[in-house]
Amino acid sequence: MSFNVAIDGPAGAGKSTVAKEAAKRLGMIYVDTGAMYRAMALYMLRKGIDPADQEAVAASCGQADITIRYEGGVQVVLLNGENVNSFLRTEEVGKATSVISAIPAVRKKLLELQQALAAKQDCLMDGRDIGTCVLPGAQLKIYLTADSAVRAKRRYDELTAKGQVCDLKQIQADIEERDDRDMHREISPLVQAPDAVLVDTSRKTQEEVVRQIIELCLERR
Ligand code: DC
């Protein structure tokens, strides 16, 4: 049986950065489920489909073939065979993703893919509903969070480091709007699983969080 770690939490809590690093040190695969939802949103945007049009999204999500593969330990998302990694991290795709991820047909399709990945290998999987829906039997569940102001500042620093011009207040407003949508949607809302360990990263360095996750994994393994 594979050893699975579920990491959930709101946007910008640092899940992907710390999960990726912890997985590397533990020799496990890191599965970024947000990237799969982002690839689906990218597909809709490219097709000119309004992400809020539930029927249109549900009708066309079957045509988006999303797979992942690993190149040098890095997760590569393939959308109908094309490596789309470089298109997934924009604010436009992020917003559309939060909208399409509330649609049951989209969740069903990606849930099956995620469960199949976790069944065949030891992995750290991050997202919003991993501990509650995708891997309810995960040996370790972590709920990673941070204040929205801290999360906004981290996102701002990340974007400005890439040379993008952005507004901190706007980013915080977008993060809070996304939290609200992710936490209050009908299907698979973001909630802390009762058996998840709460890790608040607001006043912790990345290294401290990585070490805490590794310690928890070693304890449970
Ligand atoms: O983690 P992220 O920022 O890449 O996620 C983008 C969006 O995808 C986020 O608004 C919520 C959604 N998502 C989800 O609903 N379920 C997941 N398991 C992962 C992401």
pLDDT tens per residue, range 132-179? 999 999 999 999 999 999 999 999 998 999 999 999 999 999 999 999
Q: Which atom of ligand 1 is nearest to the CA of 94?
A: 6
SS3 76: strand
Mean per-residue pLDDT, 86-98: 94
SS3 75: strand
Cα–chain center distance at 84:
16
Identify the pLDDT of residue 185.
Answer: 93
Average per-residue pLDDT in the chain? 96
- Which pair of structure tokens corresponds to residue 40? 């689906």
- Cα(148)–Cα(159) distance, rounded to whole angstroms? 16
- Which pair of structure tokens corresponds to residue 59? 């009708």
- Cα(5)–Cα(124) distance, rounded to whole angstroms? 5
Q: Which atom of ligand 1 is nearest to the CA of 35?
A: 4
C-alpha dihedral (108, 114, 120, 121), degrees to nearest 10:
-160
Would you list the domain boundaries of the chain? Answer: 1-28+122-221, 33-121
Using CA positions, which residue lies closest to atom 9 of ligand 1? Answer: 98
- Cα(103)–Cα(109) distance, rounded to whole angstroms? 10
**First-last CA distance in the chain:** 12
Phi/psi-derived region of residue 12, left when phi > 0, alpha when psi is between -120 and 50, beta in every other case:
left
Please name the residues in contact with 129: beta carbons below 8 A apart, sequence gap of 6 or more: 8, 107, 188, 189, 190
Using CA positions, which residue lies closest to atom 17 of ligand 1? Answer: 127
- Which pair of structure tokens corresponds to residue 190? 């973001």
At residue 22 the predicted structure's pLDDT band, cuts being 50, 70 and 90, is: very high
Residue 182 CB less than 6 A away from ligand 1: yes
Residue 151 CB less than 6 A away from ligand 1: no
1-28+122-221 is classed CATH 3.40.50.300 = yes
- Whole-model pTM: value is 0.93
- Cα(188)–Cα(193) distance, rounded to whole angstroms? 11
Residue 129 CB less than 6 A away from ligand 1: yes
Pick the CATH number of 33-121 from 3.30.450.20, 3.40.50.12780, 3.40.50.300, 3.30.2000.10: 3.40.50.300
Let me know if the fold of 1-28+122-221 is the same as that of 33-121.
yes
